[in-house]
Amino acid sequence: MSDRTILITGAAGEIGHGLINALAGQPGVRLIAMDLREVPEELHHKVDSVHQGDICDRAFIEHVISLHRVNEVMHLAALLSTSAERAPEQAHEVNVQGTFNLMRTAAEQAQAYDEPVRFIFPSTIAIYGVEPSEKDELGPIREFQALRPITMYGANKLYCEAMGRYYGRYYRSITRGDRRPPIDFRCLRLPGIISADTLPVGGTSDYVPEMIHASARGEACVCFVRPDTSLPWMMMPECVEAILKLAKAPPLARCVYNVASFSATAGEFAEAVQRHFPGAELSFEPHAGRQSLVDTWPADVDCLRAREDWGYEPQWTLEQAMTQYIVPTVRARYGQAPAPEGAIT
């Protein structure tokens, strides 16, 4: 058997793509891709097995986990914040019941083989609920502060963090005796993620990726939040690297970690995009509902815990991310000529 048999849910999504590309071909790693949607053909040869199905279907989850004797789960499948506000009950089914199905089945598998299953869970800045008046006073937010989500997505993720902590630390604590808990639960609270290769679906931090991809294609883009809206961000390669680093870290005393590279406003991103894609047509028409969600998310997060416990290192500033990752990658993707001499690249 391989050392690591990793089930990746939400494999057809943005982070799924990134993780499969990074893990494919690593020695001792078997990848099992799962998604409700069809997993794109270009990923098939990079994984050992592909399963199309619903994480809410417990029999399907049991079949896949036991068939492959999965010992690690990277659970990316979720309805993001805007989608979840449009269909809150469905979001609860997918984000909570789906996660419970996976965790419970992983725990059963762990008990059957007497080997804990590692469970990597991306949580989110949406688990925070910060009053606008508190933002300056709180500064970079710490993991235990302002846990008052106003969205179904944030509430779902916060509960699943607690469920993971339970399976990872306290499972059946009255009757378990000296047996280890079945799950080794590790969670990152992700900021807004920007990929130069793919576009997100149904998130509320999507306004920055939308600006970048539209401008690279020469299309106009209307940003749905105010220019002064500030959030923490990281680029997809940094996100993938952080997930892989957390997954490989030795046993950890804590299980939930903030990560982010830098904070920036929508206006700062618009200026950076305009500098690098001269002629980009960007305008702002805030959508009251979506704005009200991001207004409660922290402008900055404190990553000290992740640095101390597993050596997390933020990589890029906004400008470095533009020049070293976004601009060259989207130019290659949309077939644009390199910038003329003298333009900032």
Contact residues toward ligand SER (CB under 6 A) are 80-81, 124-126, 153, 190, 192, 203-205
Q: Which residue is nearest to ligand SER (CB)?
A: 203
Residue 182 or residue 192: which is nearer to ligand SER going by CB? 192
**Nearest-approach distance from CB 23 to ligand SER, in angstroms:** 22
Residue 156 or residue 204: which is nearer to ligand SER going by CB? 204
Q: How far is CA 113 from CA 7, 66, 102, 239, 299, in A?
A: 17, 11, 17, 31, 44
Residue 105 or residue 195: which is nearer to ligand SER going by CB? 195
**Nearest-approach distance from CB 203 to ligand SER, in angstroms:** 3
Spell out the SS3 assignment of 143-174: CCCCCCCCCHHHHHHHHHHHHHHHHHHHCCCC
Residue 86 or residue 169: which is nearer to ligand SER going by CB? 86
Q: Which helix (H) or strand (E) holds 121?
A: strand 117-124
**Nearest-approach distance from CB 180 to ligand SER, in angstroms:** 31
Q: How far is CA 337 from the centre of its chain?
A: 31
Residue 234 or residue 322: which is nearer to ligand SER going by CB? 234
Which of these, 164, 188, 165, 183, lies nearest to 72 by C-alpha position? 183
**Nearest-approach distance from CB 82 to ligand SER, in angstroms:** 6
Residue 68 or residue 186: which is nearer to ligand SER going by CB? 186
| Gap between the Cα atoms of 142 and 125, Å rounded | 11
- Can you say whether the dihedral through the CA atoms of 242, 248, 250, 253 is positive or negative? positive
Residue 124 or residue 229: which is nearer to ligand SER going by CB? 124
**Nearest-approach distance from CB 190 to ligand SER, in angstroms:** 6
**Nearest-approach distance from CB 153 to ligand SER, in angstroms:** 6
Q: How far is CA 254 from the centre of its chain?
A: 19
**Nearest-approach distance from CB 124 to ligand SER, in angstroms:** 3
69 CB burial (10 A radius; 0-12, 13-18, 19+) = middle
For residue 162, give every residue at least 6 positions away whose Cβ sits within 8 Å of its Cβ, in sequence order, or none. none
